Amino acid sequence: MFHKSTKLKPLLFFESFLKEKIQKSYESFFYENIVNPSFKINKERGYIEYLKDSYENEEVKPVIVFFEDELKNLLNIQLLISINFLTERSNEIEYLDNTSDLFLNKQLIKINNLKVDVTSFKKFDTLFIVTLNNLEKEIKKLLKQPLKRAINISIRKTNKSYFDIKDSVKNSLIKTLYDTSLILEVFDESLVSENEFVNVFTTSTPSSIQKIQFSVDNQIALHYLNCIKPIFNDLSHSRMAKSKLFYNKKGKLLNQQDFDSASTRLNKKLDKKNKETSLKTKKSINQLDYITHEINKLIIKTK
């Protein structure tokens, strides 16, 4: 019905639960989950009632549970879980000598998007907004906290990395590129850690255990790689295929044919950029343009 939040995805419960279809399913489950033969439903007044299986030295009267109270309890529990995960993940990021601002601001964007979604709900929209506002307040508190960095880990480039990263490239660019890539949703932090990303692109012999698994289709993945190509001397299709470090969104290893095929389709799509084309193609081209803009802005800024 809905997903549990995790440390890497601290808002996953709310992202999956705050959908009108899920709301209806959850409410239906509440009313249809028969506790025992005495179970009764009063949907009009929003509650269920039933007799307990046993009563000891107490008046025999039905237990009444209102759906709104049950929903409040669920949201409050999940709110605390999300706050704990947000705090834990934020501290981890800063422990690794990164700022957690980017991560926390990304969560704020998600909350604002969820607020927009729930305003269209026919029921309990106020309750959801209150919960999201509380979550937003907690994230803003974390943003105001002083940094708690315990160690300072620097990226050590070898004389020549596997993709021959240029000498002029600063260590800070690789870390910032990882954060920007997460915001662009080219890949997911639950599948590609910062250490993996750094090692794949900066070491001379990246471990076969480490990999970059994209969350986008092959054309967008290739376009992203083309955008970061200027900071390397050899980020070619053949070199990437030979490395066996890049995987598509389904977890399949990308080979030379995959890169070449994606390149052909990508070029055709870009050729349509200034021509009359479908809304789907225009949306895809806009996504490509956004990636180009953000990566170019980052590279120019850090030179």
Domain count, the chain: 2
154 part of a folded domain: no
Alpha helical stretches, state H, 5-148: 12-17, 20-32, 67-95, 101-118, 125-144
Q: CA neighbours within 13 Å on the CB side: how many for 12?
A: 13
204 part of a folded domain: yes
pLDDT computed for residue 171 by the predictor = 73
Which residues of the chain are under the pLDDT cut of 50? 97, 148-158, 276, 302
48 part of a folded domain: yes
3-state secondary structure of 66: strand
Closest CA to 245 of 276, 189, 199: 199
7 part of a folded domain: no
164 part of a folded domain: no
187 and 118 in one domain?
no
294 and 175 in one domain?
yes
155 part of a folded domain: no
- Residue range(s) defining the domain that contains residue 98: 12-144
pLDDT computed for residue 69 by the predictor = 92
pLDDT computed for residue 66 by the predictor = 93
User: Model's pTM, two decimal places?
Assistant: 0.50
271 and 181 in one domain?
yes
pLDDT computed for residue 93 by the predictor = 67
194 and 139 in one domain?
no
Closest CA to 104 of 214, 213, 182: 182
180 part of a folded domain: yes
Could you tell me if 109 and 162 are in contact, meaning their C-beta atoms sit under 8 angstroms apart?
Answer: no
